[in-house]
Amino acid sequence: MIDPAPPAGPLRLDLAGRVAVVTGAASGIGRASAIALAAAGARVVASDRVDDAALRDTVATIVAAGGVAEAFACDVTVRAQVDALMAHADTRPGPLAISVHCAGVLQEKPFVDTTDADWDHIVGVDLTGVFLCCRAALARMAPRGSGSVINIASELGFLGRAQSAPYCAAKAGVVGLTRSLAREFAPAVRVNGIAPGPIDTPMLSAQFMQPETLAKERDIPAQRFGRPDEVAATVVFLASDLASFYFGQMLGPNGGAWM
Ligand SMILES: NC(=O)c1ccc[n+]([C@@H]2O[C@H](COP(=O)([O-])OP(=O)(O)OC[C@H]3O[C@@H](n4cnc5c(N)ncnc54)[C@H](O)[C@@H]3O)[C@@H](O)[C@H]2O)c1
pLDDT confidence of residue 101: 99
Q: What is the pLDDT of residues 98-107, one digit of tens each?
A: 999 999 999 9
DSSP 205-216: STTTS-HHHHHH
Query: Which letter does DSSP use for residue 26 in this model?
Result: T
Residue 3 has pLDDT above 90, yes or no: no
Distance 162 CA to ligand 1 centre (A): 19
Q: What is the pLDDT of residues 66-112, one digit of tens each?
A: 999 999 999 999 999 999 999 999 997 879 999 999 999 999 999 99
The rounded distance, in Å, linking the Cα atoms of 64 and 53 is 16
Task: Report the residue among 105, 158, 224 best suited for mutation to probe ligand 1: largest number of ligand atoms under 8 A from its CB.
Answer: 105
pLDDT confidence of residue 4: 62
pTM comes to 0.97
- 258 three-state secondary structure: coil
Q: Could you tell me how far CA 156 lies from the centroid of its own chain?
A: 15
Q: What is the pLDDT of residues 124-134, one digit of tens each?
A: 999 999 999 99
pLDDT confidence of residue 1: 46
pLDDT confidence of residue 7: 72
Distance 222 CA to ligand 1 centre (A): 22
Q: What is the pLDDT of residues 39-71, one digit of tens each?
A: 999 999 999 999 999 999 999 999 999 999 999
Tell me the β-bridge partners of 73. Answer: 48
What structural domains does the chain harbor?
Answer: 19-247 (3.40.50.720)
